[in-house]
Structure 1
Amino acid sequence: MKGWKRALSVLVLFLVWGSLVLAVENITLRAYVIGPGPMGIKKATNLELAAQRLNQMLEAIGSEIRVQVDVNFSELKWSPFADKFYLDFAAGKAPDIVTLRETAELAKGGFIVPMDEHVEQFWAMNYFDFYPNLWEGATWNGKIWGIPHDISPTGVWYRRDVLRKLGYSDEEIDRLLPPDGDTTLETLARLAQEAVKAGLVEYGILHRPSKGPGIYNMLLAFGAECYDPSADTLVFNESALLNFYRWHKSMVEAGVIPPEPPSWSTIHSTFVAGKTFATLASHIGTPAEWKAKYGLTDESLYHDLGFMPFPPTENAKKRGVKPSSVHDFPLYFVTSQSKHPELAKLLIMFATSSEACAIHSRYTLRPPYRRSAMYLLSDVEYIQKTAASVESVRPVPVHPKFWDYMDRVFEALKGVEAGVVNPEQAVEDLKMWFLAEVENGRLL
């Protein structure tokens, strides 16, 4: 209670100080928000809602200040969206707030300001019930740099109805592919191959057509840890990476994975239509997009589809590797070019309230990032069933070179699957890049 009162006092003092010192009546804050795609729109509209809530408090204390927010929402992919931000920053035209995922790169380059003092000040008022593991994905070099506003644990979606056509009962399906992922990647692959050979599906397994958290999750399934947080250094696990590439090559040869990953629209549409057995390209909230764009029904979602974390390979499981889900934790950042950074932080605080969190979750079917929002989502059956997945999700490494590393891993994967390069050469080429480009990287 004392912590909450202290936070409220800080907020009131800030607002009163602003009303006495600042001569302006209207302050406009600019924000760049990425979906990517249309489903992330609530991350943008929640900033607009936050301005309304902040202005209500300003009015209540008699302040003449009013906050307006100009939000530029983009459905672009990550790279072109980031390019626009960096170009605008170079021109001195960066927004006050931006949503990106390259925390370490942004912090190291001086593009954003720390948020740890703000989080500490308003912990008891707003941030106390964020899931603790989310802060790990917001922290670099001992400081908190952004505020979580979304969570979408990766995993494996598969077609239960296809398995029924192969003769498996629901009890057998739950034993082979349990919701907690306590199985093996080989079991998933064997079932996918059965579905392909029976002519029930066009694709056995599809993965992302680009780098992303799902690729990192696949590496973890092979025991290829890529980051040592204790030393803040990237790791190159040669044997695990070789197994990763060899497995994908064998899956292409078996007709389970295509030699070239199809487009996102093909991945989503064929899975919803039952023409793909399993997709490794999606996350727990993807059904919202499938319902909005590809005709998925609630009946099919609950009866025909299954979801689980990424299972380890048989060898990795013997070594103690567990099923895993990851998330890349895009955050609300305040840029270093903001003329009103403290006001921007307050806007973000209101944009991540329990109310705002529940609005985002209800629209996207993604789990809430804070516990209190669950009370506002009691009528959303899907979220009630899947919310627990947040507590065990792992953040992708917060390191300046991590996404470059994943880009190289994925480009090599495309070459292996296309038959342009063999697994051994792919690993050797990747190793040469790692040694040349990753400072203090560790080889295993």
Structure 2
Amino acid sequence: SLWESTRLKGRVWGVPQDAEARPFYYSKLLLRKMGWSEDEIESLDERVAAGKFTWQDMYDVAEEAVQTGIVGEGDGWWHRPSNGPDFLYYYYGAGGEIKGAGDELIFDKKAALIVYELLYEAAQELKILRPNKLDGNWDFHKDFTSKFDKVLFVFEGTWRWASWHVNYLQDLGGEDYLFANVGFAPIPANERGTGKPITLTHPLVYMVSSKSKHPDLALLLISKATTRALNTDYAVASGHLGILKSQLDYPPYTSAKFLSATLTLLEYTTFLPNSPYWSSYSEAYYLGIQAVESGDLTPKEALDVVVEKLNNEMGDNVIIRD
């Protein structure tokens, strides 16, 4: 599936160098405080993967955690504190498409409105998400989420697992602390959208410049670097996923418990579009997210502003789908 991320107009333009996924992390520590049994906690990943624990279920549990004082207001569910690829899988999960038959990008108003309504509900109505969560403060975000004793649910990346246990949890047992107190699964299915769990992968890729004087030598170097041994060394150290099927039964990889467990997330993955128009599209879509979470605009008002911005900045390069 990683090859799909390198395709443009039917051609492959690069070789994947790494991969990751963006899981749904949940605090076993806080779920225990809420009275969940060990069986309920340990089966949550399977229920998410089967579509039996949905995005809406997540909201319900997060709301309960806030109302009962297990977590503070706004700390039932967190996402990243700034714009990034993650927000696209919200749109995909709501049933949105982004690539059509041509070069234009698609903006599905129905799917986008579902996203804006969900985020408005989380921040402004249920109070499970901080209305100022998009403050760009990554240092606070990483520190505050690391112990999973203050935030119940977190949408993050696989690479954050390594960051948490290496940089924040050494005094508490490192990775052992995470396995004892944190679970992970695909992003829960959106009942109002596709009804299927999801994630997103944004691989880095090797490419050979058209101006290279020795393209064959460059390709040979890439092939020598793309081995299960070298890629596993990198993946284990950085919290990224393997790129080769041969890593599935490679002992140094399979012995890395977290990586081998999360490799199956690629079954649910989606990708960013390979498009020169993605930046403009992403910035407009994110503007709506900021507006509804802060309460500056209602979901419908935000949608109208985003559509106007897309039309003004992208013109014929965007298709607005009603």
Q: Match for 1:278: what amino acid?
A: F
Find out whether 1:180 has 2:49 as its counterpart: yes
Structure 2: distance between partners of 1:393 and 1:250: 26
The verdict on how the C-alpha distance between 1:438 and 1:430 changes in structure 2, with shifts beyond 3 A counting, is: same
Residue 151 of structure 1 aligns to a residue whose secondary structure is coil
Q: How many residues in Structure 1 have an aligned counterpart in Structure 2?
A: 307
Corresponding residue for 2:308?
432
Q: CA deviation at 1:149?
A: 0.8
| Structure 2 length-normalised TM | 0.87
Which one of the candidate residues 301, 321, 324 is aligned to 2:178? 301
Residue 235 of structure 1 aligns to a residue whose secondary structure is strand
Corresponding residue for 2:187?
310
Residue 76 of structure 2 aligns to a residue whose secondary structure is strand
Corresponding residue for 2:146?
272
Find out whether 1:383 has 2:281 as its counterpart: no
Residue 137 of structure 1 aligns to a residue whose secondary structure is helix
The verdict on how the C-alpha distance between 1:378 and 1:245 changes in structure 2, with shifts beyond 3 A counting, is: closer
Identity among equivalent positions (%) equals: 26
Corresponding residue for 1:419?
295
Correspondence 1:396-407 to 2 at 5 A = 396-407=272-283
Residue 153 of structure 2 aligns to a residue whose secondary structure is strand
> Does structure 1 conserve the Cα–Cα contact (< 8 Å) formed by 2:235 and 2:242?
yes
**CA deviation digits over 1:321-353, x for unaligned, max 9?**
311111122212223443333322222222222
Q: CA deviation at 1:232?
A: 4.5
> Does structure 2 conserve the Cα–Cα contact (< 8 Å) formed by 1:233 and 1:440?
yes
Q: Match for 2:55: what amino acid?
A: L
Q: Match for 1:387: what amino acid?
A: L
Give unmatched runs, 5+ long, in structure 1. 1-132
Q: Where does structure 1 differ by over 6 angstroms across 4 or more consecutive aligned residues?
A: none
Residue 316 of structure 2 aligns to a residue whose secondary structure is coil
**CA deviation digits over 1:58-109, x for unaligned, max 9?**
xxxxxxxxxxxxxxxxxxxxxxxxxxxxxxxxxxxxxxxxxxxxxxxxxxxx
Q: CA deviation at 1:148?
A: 0.4
Q: Match for 1:279: what amino acid?
A: V
Moved more, 390-399 or 155-164: 390-399
Residue 77 of structure 2 aligns to a residue whose secondary structure is strand
Give unmatched runs, 5+ long, in structure 2. none
Q: Which has the higher contact order (CA 8 A, sep 6+)?
A: 2
Q: Match for 1:189: what amino acid?
A: Y
Which one of the candidate residues 117, 121, 135 is aligned to 1:246? 117
The verdict on how the C-alpha distance between 1:384 and 1:243 changes in structure 2, with shifts beyond 3 A counting, is: closer
Find out whether 1:149 has 2:17 as its counterpart: yes
Correspondence 1:255-294 to 2 at 5 A = 255-261=127-133, 262=135, 263-273=137-147, 274-280=149-155, 282-294=156-168
The verdict on how the C-alpha distance between 1:215 and 1:333 changes in structure 2, with shifts beyond 3 A counting, is: same
Residue 439 of structure 1 aligns to a residue whose secondary structure is helix
> Does structure 1 conserve the Cα–Cα contact (< 8 Å) formed by 2:26 and 2:182?
yes
The verdict on how the C-alpha distance between 1:243 and 1:270 changes in structure 2, with shifts beyond 3 A counting, is: same
Q: Match for 1:222: what amino acid?
A: A
Structure 2: distance between partners of 1:188 and 1:312: 10
